[in-house]
Structure 1
């Protein structure tokens, strides 16, 4: 059409064609007048194009007094791949990034003042956020100073705190442990009031008393909650005077001189490598994030303390029947008549290391506990409990640190497969331990990298079942069998339900896979594998959905112990009778234990280590079938 004599023509393919050609010219370096040096890598572009897309570069080029020609811009704290993604976006209007690159792209977009891209990346992080990534996402958003993203993440954490508290990033956070001694018939103040008082006390202590947050976190701090509803420092039991007389009434004992250097710092490099607990973007920020009441007088809280994302664990304890200025008497155990000295002699000895996500097995009348993780690290040490000597001793350590795995005994040798080494979430490697030589040797790798998989010996083969995939986002239904003679892996029939952190055990020439989680939804379903026809059959479900439980076969039945139900670590135990195809609740353990080790030692089922919702455990306890109760003392082991 030619209105008023003018020729008007629109080529709908022109822009796409031109943009594609310009991007090709950029990648080949033709007609480029900008060189971006990003951590040693050179990226070329056209000044007019990138200036239109990035307000930062527009301002930089506009204010430059250098003569026209090729502009050089250097970035030492951005990822080259992220900047390349932004350049592609500037030329094509298409933003394409792998999931692992989104935070780096966000960081680069923040530097380039590309607010639209920042928002797109932030929304993507929120859409993909789960309980495993919530803490690292919060640390990242805080370091970026993104208050909108922070508020959304905090909202998610408030709704899922208990499930998040079982994740590795949360477990690595620095934590402040508090014990509050309570008078009879007292309870702690309400949630919000309690933590506002504690935060005010911490601020005052750091400012006026010369104390450092790091030193307070090194030991459990003791308080006394008086009948007047005031919190006093633990030193009052020793006749010390209360330091502050304000309405807060909170003061702890200074245990050691303050240190000059502060270890809670962000290291240089990519923002994606930030470790949990990094200093928040806003220095000296104090903020209550989320909390849960885990029992009648116990709280778990996530807070920002002086810019440091931290966990506060608070327990209320029954106070000795003395005034705050008196000398406390010894509390008597409600479970035993023995005096404390006698009680110590009767207690089962703890492991040398607290361990969660460990591998355990009974071998030659002894209990083997290997690997796992605690507050400090993923472990490679291996301990052996001798019930006759009642002592733990060390065996040769594994070849690499390993946690979130299971152990099985096959033809008199120990096998560990997959898991996490503290850096890579899913391993494919495995090891075999020879008790005669006290050595670990490598075995052929798994067909699939996996963490939190079940391991079981059945009919002279080693089975590895389920787990989580290399991305850590999806549960697996794979099952593979290892032949120790041919040293080869073969595939077996897949599970009916994808699951990780399931309890796996052999009983009556069948393999049972119990509970676990699909994604992060805890399961109560149970499957039984028949190696004769290579089939999985769903059987009666458990009474309680749980992941991270332990299991042992004892007197023709399966004992499933502890675990995590999606809200809290569990003490409860249930037993499966294959003859009746039914589950029955049994006596509960003395401690809640998630990701603990369970094995039969002599004539008793033994549980060791794990995580109780607040602390990593080194303790052990045994089941007394006659009394239908668990005991942390040697009475349960008399049959050994």
Structure 2
């Protein structure tokens, strides 16, 4: 057999003999022998698998839907936590274990057995779902992940719905999130497929008062979903009953979604938990609802008394405008994947709020002559992507970035009380692809690109009292796309691109503003550039990014007390160029780029649970945007949507889980 033997001695020589290759090296005086048999592992693995297939020395019988598969207890226990638990609790550990599976595919289990013995996963594409199901049952998480990634690589508009149904049945939130992102980007193509046309359908007609416009799609459908939730709970009817006929709703001037039955005076009004949603009940409510009615003349339920009606998933996935008066939406209602059609129609002669009669027909998007458009949040003076943002003294600072022409020096300041932008002193150096942090009441920017050289080592700090920028000591290495945050009165610069811009860095450096010195910290576990970086509760978090150009969903946390990095739960969606903000002790990660598309999706991390969950998506896709938190809103500004550089902004209301571009919804006055 071939191999390598090392005799380590005071002699240094090489010689070849027939058979194993011997190598003598000058090492320690007494010497020792190291033999590396390169063929041993492959040979042993092949022999063990052959023994399994012939039934020799096997001590496990897997009975799968009438098929019997033999294996070795020790091998399976190492690969399957599920089987390890069974074998570990076996009362007769020296006998032959019998494990029965009536709901798994025998061929899929055989594929997993081959993987357990050879570390090679080989399955026809038609078998991947079955292999995933078997791996889920056996708790083989790595195999589940590989199968999920394979399905994503094969996903297209024809199979997206079936893949989503499968991921839902498996309870795989990470896979679901990625499929939902795909559906958001390709809803019209997906809607043309046969399996989409067979989904349950909820048909709604919406009437509008004069001078009233519907909100953005995501905001509108969150109202519709809440209306359905309350309708099912108040009436006690199954979801199918709502789909038997067209439901008529009314969108009032005070942004409430009402049941159309109110138009004939047939209903009472009950307030909802959300100030912007009101459900109007056609039928007498349940007895327990009567007990909860307040004594006020409005008959509204007290906000704290309304029970949560949902036991399953309720989720808006994506929507598209089909015609001038028709919208299409894909949503999960009470755990059921459904299609919602919304159609605009003429308002009746009397509205529930006793407003003047309407003399004209309104569609979803009336022309400028027919109604006043919603006033949008004020845009920046410049479109910016790869900008630095931070909240300082109750205002949002947006600095630098690039558009199609150049890297920018200009800095703008947004006042949410007046919904207006103004310029402050420009930076000394044009720069983009950098991050900004607040340290001891001053802004700090480090590194980035000026559009001429790949990376910058210089940094600067802004004094808001003097309205001027000053240089700070340079970084030890030129860096672009690095993360920056303040922690324990120091400025940290993490990761970034190497001088060639081809791969991420593990470097982490800290700057002391008192001594004006840089010191090195423990390196990251994973190379990253374009990662989102922030501080929370005395820890620094580095989220996503890219190792080279492969986007990451992993995240890690730095503890300055012991100078160590620890991996935390991965995000649902791999992304680079995302923004991050802190609100109510949680991390909000916004937008970014997944390797093929700019993203609208948003997710939040709860450090107490070490869990990520998806939130309402933005109205626009944004990669390399700026994110900052002001009071009770998360603001996203600028970025690139895949086609254009943006100067727009939008605000997220955590209480309503919705994004808005409207000034009245997010102005803090």
TM (norm. structure 2) is 0.46
TM (norm. structure 1) is 0.48
